[in-house]
Chains A and B, each alone.
Chain A
């Protein structure tokens, strides 16, 4: 298990190779996970997280903005308006720096992460904070754009949980403000990884205080 989780770079390389067709290796890794997970907790995070006051933002371009407003509402108990978000542009949304600056000004701490491994994700989900992942919504929804090169993250979603009870079918729980029924969605880890990889597994970890 340790070799699976401890070396994020190694894991990423292996996962890349797996997708090029080294399927046996993938099965072996998952089997190792199964043996070790028998006496452990199968679900990391809190899958009911983020439901309070959740709202739908139909424009995926504004997902980061919407998540910022939602987190301020949920964690600080305050309402905020779009114009209060720094660098907000009516047409386009908000830049990453603008988002971070705004959240910092409201008493939130934001850590930026790249290339997170599954173990990193588990640790963050068990910590007191919220994990936002930059994904391609088209790849996440398994549209045909999955086959296109050069896809970039167009959407920020909140990952709320990870269920490893069946290591052959690991599930990711997430809230997607740009989907009408986006609160409490579930997808396979592999699908999630594909959509997250377009941003080099970029994530923001938001804590209050």
Chain B
């Protein structure tokens, strides 16, 4: 029997809770006061996830043809969402490597272009945004932005 995505989510939550309970009980030398709540909440969430999984498996048995029709559409939206989320991760990596000022310019211009803006507009927006953020942090909040490991390494 092929499980639906929801069922895997419940299984993942059950695994995380089981790990948390075992870690609390066996892995660390906590006192009873520190063990109580993680064990209690972990067990409750584990039980609820089990109920959810049971409901999901029962639903799976009853699932009709209609669901399969919309599955293709949902898959496409899911794929596009994942691509958009990968831009977020790319931005995080950009900040870590190049720092905020450079990463903002690259991220805003390329993401806007990818979303359908013309290059010139995207670059102007990117430069203005980066300059505005830099000024607001550097001069307004007097809070230097993260410089990134590559510029810091280059500057020694």
Do A and B share a complex?
Answer: no
Q: Which residues of A contact B (CB under 8 A)?
A: none
